[in-house]
Amino acid sequence: MNWLLAVLYLVGGALSASWLVWRYKRRRMLEMASKLPGPTALPFLGNTLVFMSRPEETVNKLEELMQKYGEIYRFWLGPELNIVVRNPAYIRKGPVYDFMVPFIGSGILSGGPTWRSHRKIVILSYNKKSVENYFPVFNKECEELAKVISQKEPVTFDCYKDILRSTTQSVNQTLMGLSKEDSEQVYRLEEIIFKTHDMYTLIFNKMTKWWLQVPLIYWLLGKKKQHDYYLKLIDDVMEDIVRRRKKALEVSKPDEECMGVVDRLILSGELTDKEIKEETMTLFTSSQEVAAKIAAGDKVYQEIIDVVGPDGPVTNEQLKLLENLDMVYKETLRYFPIGAMIQRTVIEDISIKDGSITIPAGTSLVIPIHSLNRDPRYWEHPNKVMPERFLPENVEKRDPNAFIPFSLGPMDCLGRTYGTALIKTLVVWVLRYAKLEPAVSLDNIQLDIAISVTSFHGYNIKARPRNGRINGLS
């Protein structure tokens, strides 16, 4: 018993000493943090106990703290100081992205030392000229999806999987550079399509639950086994995609204007095989999931018929003329943000509120996108779906920073042009084939927060073939 007490005494002493050293090294940050409102933090743990909840409740926790402490407040996740504000500036990726590094590497999304050079390599595949060349694939895959949805039985169904399969095929045949045949044969493709969100949930839980950051607990709860499963799944899929593109490049090199990101990464000669697979995973998963969050109505359909017509391919120029569709698209991004929150690390001290508050360098700045998108100061009836809030006269009345669906700064979303073109093309084709009705009210939908944002109960709709469309055929 004496030896056990001695061990506990030594461990306690070591922890106390390390805590005092930590406080001394960060005394300036602690002093500045003390001037900000926020919940009382515990030694070592900070405020992690506040976030001991299901992932979908995290946004509500942040909102509760905002209601209590105001629109600028601080909380601690272990040793990391987080400051929540609604007006981001002079910021970059934050340290919680470190939890994603085992899965996607230290690069474009996670903001490692190579992100700038890697982004420079792939960005040409996302420009407007490249996206124009992707439209034949978009049209083909979106028409196939429209036929699938129009042939559904006249009952409620979750359209998410159908849309995800379609967008994955579009991504594979454009950004990944695969042929249709290769895309359909990628090893374990179907598995990764529907496991990505579960992987995000595991990452998000580890970010927000301090006990999962203890290796022994992570292993005992079976999380390490899940972690290793996802790593193997990612490696298998990305290895197959990269192998197929390397084999194809031995025969011929695609034109510069329609070259996919995988080919650019391979041909650059700047990345190791491991880095190529990691960046391929980053760009694959960030492109194929987002397009499953769409809703549209009769006004949009009539506009589509007037501008695009009832049949035939969709062009980028036509999409630019679909004003009602654009409003629905933006309202969808407001209601279902790609991420409920983003985090940045402050590069240098920032003074806000006329100099009354200073955010110290090294602080993690949390930008609550979901909360910003529901702020009644900027959005009338924020929990209702109202596309008309994006009419030009309404947009002019709002602070432009009230709506930042693709983030800000040099690390904003690479795929904003690509994703917008694919999603709008998808809507045009589906609405020309089927009339969609939501199964439940679109107001106050419960969100599932796990890196990306999805509907907790799925995307349940009813679909009826349009007049003149029988079994998905004209």
Flag whether 413 is marked binding: yes
- Give me 204's structure tokens: 């998000």
Burial class of 452 by CB neighbour count within 10 A (0 to 12, 13 to 18, 19+)? buried
Which residues are 350's β-sheet partners? 359
* Beta-carbon contacts of residue 37 (< 8 Å; ≥ 6 apart): 69, 70, 72, 73, 74
- Which residues are annotated binding-site positions for heme? 413
- Which residues are annotated binding-site positions? 413
